[in-house]
Amino acid sequence: MNTAQIPAGAAGTATATRPVLEVVGLRKRFGDHTALDGIDLTVEEGEVVAILGPSGSGKSTLVRCLDQLETIDGGAMYLDGELLGFEQGKVLRPLTDAGVRAQRRRMSMVFQQFNLFPHWTVLRNVTEAPVAVHGVAPAEAKAKALDLLEKVGLSDKATAYPRQLSGGQQQRVAIARAVAVEPRVLLFDEPTSALDPELIDEVLQTMQALAASGRTMVVVTHEMEFAREVADRCVFMADGKVVEDQPAEAFFRNPQTDRLRSFLARSMRRNDEQQ
Ligand SMILES: Nc1ncnc2c1ncn2[C@@H]1O[C@H](COP(=O)(O)OP(=O)(O)OP(=O)(O)O)[C@@H](O)[C@H]1O
Ligand SMILES: [Mg+2]
């Protein structure tokens, strides 16, 4: 991308409260296909923002760009006012790999497929990043991991291996692992989509508890009830654009566009059929 054209975020100005995350005019192309077409998004401290939208609308691409798993083609992203992916000097240069890694340590992502290390115990899965990447003392990391495992209802599984756990349990370990590094933002990409229906609620409850404890979260989800009850704001994406961005209650009760109205109607119908 032309680094001379990186837009400044409001975060760069001396506002009273600085957003944790700010995305300005974000663009991402895959070949000829524009996956993100000028995304603007602000996430405040302690806010839970749900990202909804049809398949292919760019939801995963957005969170993957935030976590710097993708390079971007335009626009800018800021974490606590710091430009992500680029050195902010007179001349803008892409960050070194070490610079990107340092920024990525301040966020955690929870994936649909858990991605636990199969040959490590639950405890090691949770303590590894704090010890190996963040330099936390092993005893301290262990105490914290046990505390987190208790919070996600898995104190009795610390010495188990991932294969000995259900999908819902594995995803709760993945959530504990994500929280263990005390990230500024937790990113979730459809954390319940790979789960059997009866295991979804336990994971959503864990996420609800995290939200209630004041964590800043961006959650891509198809779980309408969760979005309505737990998210502060809901963002509806279509064709790589943000079509609506509203407080959760207004989003569901008073959609402003036909596109969101029909998306909600379709999603509710699907939910009814599943019950
Ligand atoms: N690595 C890639 N290479 C090429 N095209 C891609 C790649 N990743 C995503 N895309 C395309 O970008 C668009 C957005 O994809 P994305 O995965 O972000 O959608 P999504 O909203 O997460 O969809 P879903 O609800 O199915 O997960 C799609 O058209 C997709 O095919
Ligand atoms: Mg996706």
Handedness of CA 32, 37, 42, 48 (dihedral sign): negative
CATH number of the domain at 3-106+183-274, please?
A: 3.40.50.300
> Taking 80 as the threshold, does the pLDDT of residue 15 lie above it?
no
Pocket test of ligand 1: the residue of 32, 59, 192 to mutate, having most ligand atoms within 8 Å of its CB, is 59
Q: Of 44, 1, 57, which Cα lies nearest the Cα of 231?
A: 44
Q: Report the residue among 26, 36, 61, 190 best suited for mutation to probe ligand 1: largest number of ligand atoms under 8 A from its CB.
A: 61
Q: Pick the ligand that lies closest to the CA of residue 66.
A: 1
pLDDT, one tens digit per residue, over 193-205 is: 999 999 999 999 9
Show the ligand 1 pocket: residues with CB < 6 angstroms: 30, 33, 35, 53, 55-61
Share of the chain above pLDDT 90, in %: 88
Tell me the per-residue pLDDT of 211-222, one tens digit each, with 9 for 90 and over: 999 999 999 999
pTM: 0.94
The pLDDT score that the predictor gives to residue 2 is 52
Ligand 1 mutation pick, 33, 239, 270, max ligand atoms within 8 A of CB = 33
Query: Strand 82-83 to strand 74-79: parallel, antiparallel, or no bridges (unpaired)?
Result: antiparallel
pLDDT digits (tens, 9 = 90+) for 72-126: 999 999 999 999 999 987 788 999 999 999 999 999 999 999 999 999 999 999 9
Give the closest ligand to the alpha carbon of residue 59: 1
pLDDT tier, 268 (very low <50, low <70, confident <90, very high otherwise): confident
pLDDT value at 275 more than 90: no
Q: Residues of 241-260 as b/e, b for ≥16 C-beta within 10 angstroms?
A: bbbbbbebeebbeebeeebb
Q: Which atom of ligand 1 is closest in space to residue 53's alpha carbon?
A: 21
Cα-to-centroid distance, 205 and ligand 2 (Å)? 21
pLDDT digits (tens, 9 = 90+) for 16-62: 678 999 999 999 999 999 999 999 999 999 999 999 999 999 999 99
DSSP character for 169?
Answer: H
- pLDDT on residue 269: 80
| Rounded distance from Cα 26 to ligand 2 centre (Å) | 17
* Residue nearest atom 27 in ligand 1 by C-alpha distance: 55
Per-residue DSSP letters for 10-72? GGGS--SS--SEEEEEEEEEETTEEEEEEEEEEE-TT-EEEEE--TTSSHHHHHHHHTTSS--
Question: Which residues are 187's β-sheet partners?
Answer: 109, 218
Ligand 2 center–CA 51 separation, angstroms? 10
**14 has pLDDT over 70:** no
User: Which ligand has the nearest atom to the CA of 34?
Assistant: 1
Helix axes 138-151, 167-180, angle to 10 degrees: 130
Average pLDDT on 5-23 reads 73
The domain segmentation of the chain, as residue ranges, is: 3-106+183-274
